[in-house]
Chain A
């Protein structure tokens, strides 16, 4: 599926900063952890607090290429896709409805591992609305699932002692009995 991101952000060869002229739309250049360089529209880049702070705080020139060492290129592509759409829809009348349609499509074939990677990136880049959205999508994956499933999904090990575990369970004993099997 060709991503709209490829329309919004052009990927350029690493050959030095482009000589920008004042009346051209401003672009911000970043380099991902795996060495790819991306050119972002200013309005999209400013949706990410981390980038915004980097350039705004010390009045750093847009000619500087900002390193995003914790972000992979495929992740950035997805982030750009989402943020661009968000900025585009932001002031529209049907904002919520259209955003919801886009969100459903966006996560449709994403695995939990993908969502987890994106959540880390969203956290690192400090994009609140994107983070909330990704976390909701992750939560939807573990809704109504038992603790074993959740551990496996996240690759987490149970570090409780048996005693500690039993103690924790007493908080709501009625939530632990899975009785469908023995009722019949």
Chain B
């Protein structure tokens, strides 16, 4: 192996790695898609921060679509108002916050998580939006007021079951809309109400149109709210007569028992319908995915997988993220208890730090307010 013992000149190593060339640091940072890693990187020293800020533009553009949702938990500290956010990709609690000063008793409940905001409703039909990251709060007018005036016989048997936002009120404070699904105690009669930032009150869906319509889920998609209605709904309700900013689309022919259907937007901007069980054990075999196609009118096309997306699901919310960017498993469903990989059938349970009930728990998409 004749290696020559030549004069071994001491090579000049960089004494301070912090002065690594920017292109090198840039390359390393590009391999760190997680926002947590990005932030740690930007705090190492001034030079590193500069490199990070250079990448900020391109990250901000893809940021809100790519972050893995965090799981909202109750804190074990004896306080009704404290909540914690748990990251499944990091396996730990990453944030804690207090709900704004409000009477949080049994009469207040979580009814939505949209664009990084949580929606709480109480018995008087007051909806409050809370952002756990910026600690912002938005109190919306009572939905009930509208209902009361047109239906004097209506009482608090109605419950708000879901709240959907069209956009993040932090980014669009004067240009966001809210849709609320509320249902009667029998869980059968459902109604919709709509609110746009700047309005004084809610607009309820026309009752005559709503009658006979079974509303399964709703989401915001390409400029309007889309409500998923039961298959046996009156076909005349097909197109939006319920409310101008709401389109109703009926469920595909196959309706599976003991499973729930959700509408969600994929990362490539398709509208998906996911019919599955929220029970870890039954999720793998029983998941059906459909994509909305528009060849001759709206129709559902069966899909085999989520591709490179990961789906986060709970009983009131569905979020799709790109698996590689967010550090999640592709073609997998993240339920409250763990992950189900639809390609392999593998089930992985989360290491839950504390126990929690199911109603007040949901996924929430983290948002980041960059200073300008």
- Residues of A at the B interface (CB closer than 8 Å) are 6, 11, 13-14, 33-37, 70, 72-73, 116-117, 119-120, 123, 131-132, 135-136, 138-140, 142-147, 150-151, 154-160, 165, 168-180, 183-184
Contact = CB atoms under 8 A, between A and B. Distances in A.
Given A35-B7, A175-B94, A179-B94, A144 B37 contact: yes
Nearest to B21: A123
A33 B8 CA distance: 8
Contacts of A184: 76, 353
B33 to A, nearest CB: 9
B75 A156 contact: no
Contacts of A174: 85, 94-95, 132-133, 366
A36 to B, nearest CB: 7
Interface centre among B30, B31, B42, B353 (most CB of A within 10 A): B31
B45 interface: yes
B41 A150 contact: yes
- Most A CB atoms within 10 A — which of B8, B27, B76, B84? B27
B151 interface: no
Give the top 3 A-B pairs by smallest Cβ distance, nearest first.
A35-B6, A139-B31, A156-B18
A168 B44 contact: no
Nearest to B1: A6
B43 A120 contact: no
Given A135-B27, A157-B45, A150 B4 contact: no
B324 to A, nearest CB: 12
B94 A177 contact: yes
B94 to A, nearest CB: 7
B11 A70 contact: yes
Given A145-B40, A154-B17, A170-B371, A175 B90 contact: no
A13 B4 contact: yes
A179 B93 contact: yes
B45 A156 contact: yes
Nearest to B370: A171
B43 A165 contact: yes
B37 A172 contact: no
25 contacts: A11-B4, A13-B4, A34-B9, A70-B12, A138-B28, A139-B29, A139-B37, A140-B31, A142-B28, A142-B41, A147-B40, A151-B45, A156-B16, A156-B18, A156-B48, A157-B16, A160-B43, A165-B43, A171-B42, A172-B39, A174-B95, A174-B132, A177-B94, A178-B94, A183-B354
A184 B354 CA distance: 9
Given A120-B14, A183-B96, A183-B353, A147 B44 contact: yes
Given A139-B28, A151-B45, A170-B371, A156 B40 contact: no
A14 B4 CA distance: 8
B23 A143 contact: no
A150 B44 CA distance: 7
Given A35-B7, A176-B39, 10 more contacts: A6-B1, A34-B6, A119-B28, A150-B44, A154-B20, A170-B371, A174-B95, A174-B132, A184-B76, A184-B353
A119 B7 CA distance: 25
Contacts of B41: 142, 147, 150
Contacts of A131: 24, 27
B146 interface: no
A72 B6 CA distance: 13
B17 A159 contact: no
Contacts of A6: 1
A143 B37 contact: yes
Given A11-B3, A180-B92, A172 B46 contact: no
A172 B31 contact: no
B17 A156 contact: yes
Contacts of B84: 179, 183
A159 B32 CA distance: 23
Most buried by B among A37, A146, A156, A157: A156
Nearest to B23: A123
A29 to B, nearest CB: 13
Contacts of A178: 94
B9 A157 contact: no
A110 to B, nearest CB: 15
A180 B48 CA distance: 27
A20 to B, nearest CB: 21
A165 B1 CA distance: 53
Interface in B130-164: 132-133
